[in-house]
Structure 1
């Protein structure tokens, strides 16, 4: 753990989601009418990054500029219960972003407030916060905090002592020399590199690598990690080949809202560096946290949690909850729910063929997996070879599998009572064999289908053959 708190330095905005339903158009203009609108405020910019770090139980100090206006007072009320605030004066109105949403879709966004931080006294609290920092995240949103002369001087001295992560903005300030890690997104990296004479065309890994290396050399940075959205993040640290940390597939998250993912990435990367971790670990953990953040509903989920519970902590849905969400969405759309089950210990070609065929029978495929205890009762004390967590991870990586559910009983009957699949799939090796779950499936309106299996493919046979070879 760092000797001092995590200090987040940067511009804070007030973000407000206005969430309602849209079922009709306005009679005097072709625009939707938002009914039953609910207002959900949250800190944005550096405020969101600081809040996310504090939600992980960290001691966090936020150094920023705040105006003495109604939005500024709302920001104080949202931030002060969760972290220490070291603020100096913001000249002009608090920047506010209002997003109007209906049925999960943005209808319009309104930006107001042109406040900027200007050189002048920052007060002893700001200086003390930076002097005692164990690690620093600079969250630059181009509103002047990171260009303040006194703050920049303090940051320059800190970069030689503690890890500094710099999340840049094209209209913001260059990172101070000695910055450990800069974290632009792909567009920011392109614009920053072009502004420094490197007009590198294209998108993807090769251009991102060249831009990262150019920026690291131009500013004397230890490393640059270009975030690539659903593609993860690419780390260039001067040690040779770049390191790519891939993200979980965005399509599985059930949401297109990635607002705040970059703040989540940068905050987690700083936490890892503050705890003594290396750059690849920091970037990998940053991508994982950002993926979870998007999965959980991104910044909109933070606003909802603050409104409902007063806590900013958000967590991704559990895998089980994710499976039930897949089933609900499929049924709501009038689709067919297909399910199958088994141990899937040492996944082989027979399993893959069955799953491919099963998925073609409907609109989603849910795989019911025997727990480790259930496998031991069925197969003996030496099984499973692969624990349930690993078996589930491999299955979920297959494109034909929409979700998984683990059950601990000897048969999947209790699970199927709740799942109520339209089609329950088993291999043709069960032909003529009574299935204990058959009554449950049919009682809930489903049917059982047997599919061909590949001759000679079974985990038990594979293990027996291996033992024979080695004996």
Structure 2
């Protein structure tokens, strides 16, 4: 790999799935078989496979492009919707249905998984848009889930060429294809390494795999034990010099140190994706493989402690939930998320007459973290900003409607012209505004940044605004003919 590289987006290449969690309780066995009966109360959905990797990468603030095979069915439509405006999707043709994995959880414990759809990337010419995306990549993450994208000749040829120019991180799969030569980092887990005949838990493991794949570095992920890294010549290792690493022959193990205590069962779903994404982002930013792996271990550990893939899922209507947070619980919610090491996202506005543009922005904002708090203008604040005939909907009702959305975790009302004072108390990790604010001064930006957060501009749906809807409605009403007064005598007769 060349030491000079062009600045560009992180391009994620691989197989995407739709992941679904059905949550419920179980207090009895079925009368016709010794299996638990699960009374499902909630349903959560998220992108899976390369789609999850792309979603996690987008939370880094970098531009992300996803090159993946995607179909033309309901699951594919849902995948696109969940990725929203956060990720640019370059679609490859898919043969068969989009893969959907459904976990059923009873009392928080998975009891079964249902897999539907055997779609694979179609062996057809690769669209030029995929080549263009790879050509402008600053780094590439390959999330191979064994469904054919990495087996496409055109994709492999371009990845081989790009590996000589930019960092390529390859997260392999037992049913996938071997990484191309020259990858900056390959990230198998321990079971994948054992399946390839490597020795478990020693530097020999990374050395065997590095020679097999002709990779510059190999990091074998070891779950709660961190990761084993072998880099450089694979015979003369350049050691890590951080205290959290321990020697294993000529390799180094990066321990998952400093983990917070956690009561109950940890969900590790998506931890491998979080590891590979963090490593790829670090290499994109110019880090060495050693630094990238240390960051990846820390990131994957925090990801699991924050709830893993369930924390980046979107609830969809399934059953009425009685435990959704009320607007007044927003500060308690933020404290809980922050204590668990999660990411708090906030956005704000009047939200008078909720419309498609609002929902699109809120859904995309929620995907940036583990909880979304919406700061809304009080009625008096709206009147000062919009005029005496606004708001059309009271703050109480606006808060109730927003709280009912699956993507909104809490609502807070503020009375000032801007939510700056409120944000100083909330201290969100991410403050979201629409892309229509690009180039404009955002008064609350300084408060957010002083609190350690950052401002992110997300795409807006053109043509949608409450003011425009109100003006159009009034114009239509004024143009409508006045109905004639009814003749009550004729009506009676």
State the TM-score bracket (shorter-chain normalisation).
0.5 to 0.7
1:362 corresponds to = none
CA distance in 2, matches of 1:321, 1:293: 8
1:142 equivalent to 2:142? Answer no
Is the 2:66–2:88 contact (alpha carbons within 8 Å) kept by the matching residues of 1? Answer: yes
1:131 corresponds to = 135
Q: CA deviation at 1:217?
A: 1.1
Q: Whose RCO is larger (CA < 8 A, sep 6+)?
A: 2
2:170 corresponds to = 166
Q: Which 5+ residue runs of structure 2 have no aligned equivalent?
A: 238-249, 318-323, 326-333, 343-493
1:293 corresponds to = 303
Provide the secondary structure at the position in 1 that maps to 2:313.
helix
Provide the secondary structure at the position in 2 that maps to 1:258.
coil
1:10 corresponds to = 14
The number of equivalent residue pairs is 308
Is the 2:169–2:280 contact (alpha carbons within 8 Å) kept by the matching residues of 1? Answer: yes
Is the 2:43–2:316 contact (alpha carbons within 8 Å) kept by the matching residues of 1? Answer: no
1:266 equivalent to 2:276? Answer yes
CA distance in 2, matches of 1:65, 1:304: 22
Q: CA deviation at 1:163?
A: 0.3
RMSD between aligned residues: 2.5
Is the 2:302–2:341 contact (alpha carbons within 8 Å) kept by the matching residues of 1? Answer: no
Provide the secondary structure at the position in 2 that maps to 1:56.
coil
1:225 equivalent to 2:219? Answer yes
2:105 corresponds to = 101
Q: CA deviation at 1:112?
A: 1.6
CA distance in 1, matches of 2:153, 2:341: 50
Q: CA deviation at 1:263?
A: 0.3
CA distance in 2, matches of 1:210, 1:109: 35
Provide the secondary structure at the position in 2 that maps to 1:268.
helix
CA distance in 1, matches of 2:259, 2:194: 23
Q: Which 5+ residue runs of structure 1 have no aligned equivalent?
A: 323-471
CA distance in 1, matches of 2:341, 2:56: 23
1:20 equivalent to 2:24? Answer yes
Is the 1:295–1:317 contact (alpha carbons within 8 Å) kept by the matching residues of 2? Answer: no
CA distance in 1, matches of 2:154, 2:316: 33
Counterpart selection for 2:121 from 105, 117, 122: 117
Question: For residues 315 and 219 of structure 1, do their structure 2 counterparts lie closer, same or farther at Cα, with a shift above 3 Å needed?
Answer: farther
Is the 1:257–1:297 contact (alpha carbons within 8 Å) kept by the matching residues of 2? Answer: yes
Question: For residues 171 and 22 of structure 1, do their structure 2 counterparts lie closer, same or farther at Cα, with a shift above 3 Å needed?
Answer: same
Question: For residues 46 and 287 of structure 1, do their structure 2 counterparts lie closer, same or farther at Cα, with a shift above 3 Å needed?
Answer: same
1:31 corresponds to = 35
Counterpart selection for 2:253 from 244, 248, 251: 244
CA distance in 1, matches of 2:28, 2:184: 52
Q: What TM-score does the superposition give when structure 1 sets the normalisation length?
A: 0.62
CA distance in 2, matches of 1:230, 1:244: 12
Is the 1:64–1:88 contact (alpha carbons within 8 Å) kept by the matching residues of 2? Answer: yes
1:386 corresponds to = none
Question: For residues 30 and 264 of structure 1, do their structure 2 counterparts lie closer, same or farther at Cα, with a shift above 3 Å needed?
Answer: same
Q: CA deviation at 1:73?
A: 1.3
Trace 1:311-330 onto structure 2 (pairs within 5 A): 317-319=337-339
Provide the secondary structure at the position in 2 that maps to 1:189.
helix
Provide the secondary structure at the position in 1 that maps to 2:120.
coil
2:262 corresponds to = 253
1:302 equivalent to 2:306? Answer no
Q: CA deviation at 1:212?
A: 1.2
CA distance in 1, matches of 2:335, 2:63: 20
Q: CA deviation at 1:30?
A: 2.6
1:276-327 CA-partner distances (Å, limit 9, x unpaired): 1111110000000000000001011111579999xxxx999544899xxxxx
Q: CA deviation at 1:42?
A: 0.8
Q: CA deviation at 1:250?
A: 6.5
Trace 1:350-389 onto structure 2 (pairs within 5 A): none
Q: CA deviation at 1:248?
A: 3.7
Question: For residues 182 and 245 of structure 1, do their structure 2 counterparts lie closer, same or farther at Cα, with a shift above 3 Å needed?
Answer: same
CA distance in 1, matches of 2:260, 2:8: 39
2:453 corresponds to = none
Provide the secondary structure at the position in 2 that maps to 1:17.
strand
CA distance in 1, matches of 2:220, 2:127: 35
1:59 equivalent to 2:53? Answer no
Is the 1:230–1:249 contact (alpha carbons within 8 Å) kept by the matching residues of 2? Answer: no
1:433 corresponds to = none
CA distance in 2, matches of 1:66, 1:52: 19
Question: For residues 320 and 133 of structure 1, do their structure 2 counterparts lie closer, same or farther at Cα, with a shift above 3 Å needed?
Answer: closer
CA distance in 2, matches of 1:268, 1:102: 31
Provide the secondary structure at the position in 2 that maps to 1:253.
coil
Regions of 4+ moved over 4 Å: 304-309, 314-317, 319-322
1:175-211 CA-partner distances (Å, limit 9, x unpaired): 111100000000001112x2xxx6x4xx4x32xx212
Is the 2:170–2:187 contact (alpha carbons within 8 Å) kept by the matching residues of 1? Answer: yes
Question: For residues 316 and 111 of structure 1, do their structure 2 counterparts lie closer, same or farther at Cα, with a shift above 3 Å needed?
Answer: farther
Trace 1:64-79 onto structure 2 (pairs within 5 A): 64-79=68-83
CA distance in 2, matches of 1:286, 1:190: 21
1:235 corresponds to = 229
CA distance in 1, matches of 2:58, 2:98: 23
Provide the secondary structure at the position in 2 that maps to 1:190.
helix
Provide the secondary structure at the position in 2 that maps to 1:11.
strand
